[in-house]
C-alpha cells in the first residue's frame, strides 16, 4: 500500500507539469492582460509599459512560464495584481468561508441522498419512489439564482426568519458559541440551495447502484437466512452499493475549496468563487493560475484518495 501511494504521488509530478503547461498556454492565448483590463482613461503608453515591466508582463511567454514554475517550486505563488498581496494569503482570506458551506452541503446532501436513494430502490415504482423522483428532478432543474432569490423573498423578506445575506451580522463582535450560531443562521439559506442542487443527482446515483445490488443472489441468500430486512438492506446491500460512490467522494474534494460562484454571489457569502471569477475577468494571472493549480492538485489528491479507499473497502481490488 505504501509503495502504491508513493508511486502514485510520483506519477502526479508529470501530470502536474502537463496541467501547468495547458492552463498557462490557455491563459497566455486569451487576449488582453491586467493593464488592458484596468481600462484606465488616463494611463499613458509609457506608464503602461512601465507597469508591464514591473509585473514582468513584458517578458516572452516561455520565460514567464519558467519564472512562474520556478517560483511555484519555491513555494511562492506570486502576488495577486488586484489584491496586491501573495496569492496564498488571498486564498486563505476566502477559501475557508467557501469550505464551511461546501462541507455542510456535502454532509447533508450525502446523508439525504443515501436514505432517499435506498428507500426509492427498495420500494421501486411505489408512490414514495415517484414523489422522490419528482422532487429530485425539480430541485435539479431549477437554476440556483432562481431558488436563491425565491428563498430570500420568502424567508428573509416575508417571514423575516433569516438574514438576506452575508456571513455574520454587520459589526458583530460575538465570539465563540454566539459567533457559530450567527454564522449558522446566515449560512442556512445558501446551504439549503446548494443541498437542493446537489442531492438530486446523488439520489439517482445511489438508487441505481442500490437497484443493481438488491437483485443479486447474495441478498436473496441473506434474506433466506432470515436476517432482518433492515440488516439486509443497510449492512449487506448498502455497503456494496456504496463502493462506486467512493469515486464520487474523491471528486468532491476540490469542490470543497472551489467555491460556488453563483450561490455565493446571491447570498453575498464571502467565498472564493467570485474572487476567482473576477481574477479571470481582470486577467489577474498570478491568482488565476495559482488557484487553478491549487484545484488541480486537490483533484489529483482526490483521485488518489478514492483509489486508496477503494482498495480498503473492496477486498476484490488489490493495490500493488
- Footprint on residues 92-111 left by other proteins (CB under 8 A): 93-94, 97, 102
Interface with other proteins: number of residues (CB under 8 A): 78
Q: If we measure between CA atoms, which residue out of 270, 241, 272 comes closest to residue 254? A: 272
Residue 38 binding other proteins, by CB under 8 A: yes
Residue 265 binding other proteins, by CB under 8 A: yes
The partner residues of 264 in beta bridges, in order of sequence, read: none
Task: Write each residue from 216 to 235 as x if it is in contact with other proteins (CB under 8 A), else as -, in one continuous string.
Answer: --------------------
Residue 293 binding other proteins, by CB under 8 A: no
Among 14, 45, 224, 318, binds other proteins (CB under 8 A): 45
Q: DSSP letters of 72-118?
A: HHTT---B-TTT-SBHHHHHHHHHHHHHHHHHHHHHHHHHHHHHHHH
Cell numbers standing for residue 4: 502504491
Among 24, 119, 267, 285, binds other proteins (CB under 8 A): 267
**Which residues 153-192 are close enough to bind other proteins by CB under 8 A?**
153, 156-157, 160, 163-168, 170-171
Among 121, 139, 151, 152, binds other proteins (CB under 8 A): 152
What DSSP state is assigned to residue 162? Answer: S
Nearer to other proteins, 115 or 251 (CB): 251
Is residue 134 within 8 A of residue 223, CB to CB? The reply is no
CB of residue 243 to other proteins, shortest distance in Å: 24
Among 12, 16, 243, 280, binds other proteins (CB under 8 A): 280
Nearer to other proteins, 35 or 237 (CB): 35
- Crossing angle of helices 176-214 and 144-151, in 10° steps, is 130
Residue 78 binding other proteins, by CB under 8 A: no
CB of residue 31 to other proteins, shortest distance in Å: 3
Planar angle of CA 151, 192, 105, nearest 5 degrees: 155
Task: Write each residue from 192 to 211 as x if it is in contact with other proteins (CB under 8 A), else as -, in one continuous string.
Answer: --x--x--------------
Cell numbers standing for residue 5: 501511494
CB of residue 179 to other proteins, shortest distance in Å: 12
Q: If we measure between CA atoms, which residue out of 311, 310, 272, 274 comes closest to residue 294? A: 272
Q: If we measure between CA atoms, which residue out of 180, 240, 245, 152 comes closest to residue 206? A: 245
CB of residue 6 to other proteins, shortest distance in Å: 28
CB of residue 53 to other proteins, shortest distance in Å: 10
Q: If we measure between CA atoms, which residue out of 212, 213, 204, 246 comes closest to residue 232? A: 213
CB of residue 160 to other proteins, shortest distance in Å: 7
- Residue positions counted in the chain: 320
Identify the burial level of 301 via C-beta atoms within 10 angstroms of its C-beta, where 0-12 means exposed, 13-18 middle and 19 or more buried: middle
Residue 148 binding other proteins, by CB under 8 A: yes
Amino acid at each position: 500500500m505504501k509503495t502504491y501511494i508513493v508511486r502514485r504521488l510520483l506519477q502526479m509530478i508529470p501530470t502536474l507539469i502537463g496541467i501547468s503547461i495547458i492552463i498557462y498556454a490557455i491563459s497566455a492565448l486569451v487576449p488582453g492582460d491586467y493593464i488592458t483590463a484596468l481600462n484606465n482613461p488616463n494611463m499613458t503608453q509609457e506608464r503602461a509599459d512601465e507597469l508591464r515591466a514591473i509585473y514582468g508582463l513584458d517578458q516572452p511567454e516561455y520565460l514567464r512560464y519558467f519564472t512562474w514554475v520556478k517560483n511555484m517550486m519555491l513555494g511562492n505563488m506570486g502576488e495577486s495584481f488586484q489584491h496586491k498581496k501573495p496569492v496564498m494569503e488571498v486564498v486563505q482570506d476566502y477559501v475557508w468561508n467557501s469550505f464551511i458551506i461546501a462541507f455542510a452541503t456535502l454532509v447533508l446532501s450525502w446523508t439525504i441522498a443515501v436514505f432517499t436513494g435506498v428507500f426509492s430502490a427498495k420500494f421501486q415504482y411505489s408512490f414514495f419512489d415517484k414523489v422522490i423522483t419528482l422532487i429530485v428532478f425539480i430541485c435539479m432543474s431549477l437554476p440556483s439564482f432562481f431558488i436563491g432569490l425565491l428563498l430570500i423573498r420568502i424567508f428573509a423578506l416575508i417571514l423575516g426568519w433569516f438574514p438576506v445575506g452575508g456571513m455574520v451580522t454587520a459589526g458583530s463582535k460575538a465570539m465563540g458559541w454566539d459567533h457559530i450560531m450567527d454564522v449558522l443562521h446566515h449560512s442556512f439559506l445558501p446551504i439549503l440551495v446548494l443541498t437542493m442542487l446537489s442531492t438530486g443527482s446523488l439520489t439517482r446515483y445511489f438508487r441505481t447502484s442500490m437497484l443493481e445490488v438488491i437483485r443479486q443472489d447474495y441478498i436473496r441468500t441473506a434474506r433466506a437466512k432470515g436476517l432482518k430486512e433492515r440488516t439486509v438492506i443497510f449492512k449487506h446491500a448498502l455497503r456494496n452499493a456504496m463502493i462506486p460512490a467512493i469515486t464520487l467522494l474523491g471528486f468532491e474534494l476540490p469542490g470543497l475549496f472551489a467555491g460556488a460562484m453563483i450561490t455565493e454571489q446571491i447570498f453575498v457569502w464571502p467565498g472564493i468563487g467570485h474572487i476567482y471569477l473576477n481574477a479571470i475577468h481582470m486577467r489577474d494571472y498570478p491568482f488565476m493560475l495559482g488557484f487553478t493549480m491549487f484545484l488541480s492538485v486537490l483533484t489529483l489528491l482526490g483521485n488518489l484518495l478514492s483509489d486508496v479507499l477503494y482498495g480498503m473497502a473492496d477486498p476484490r481490488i488489490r493495490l500493488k
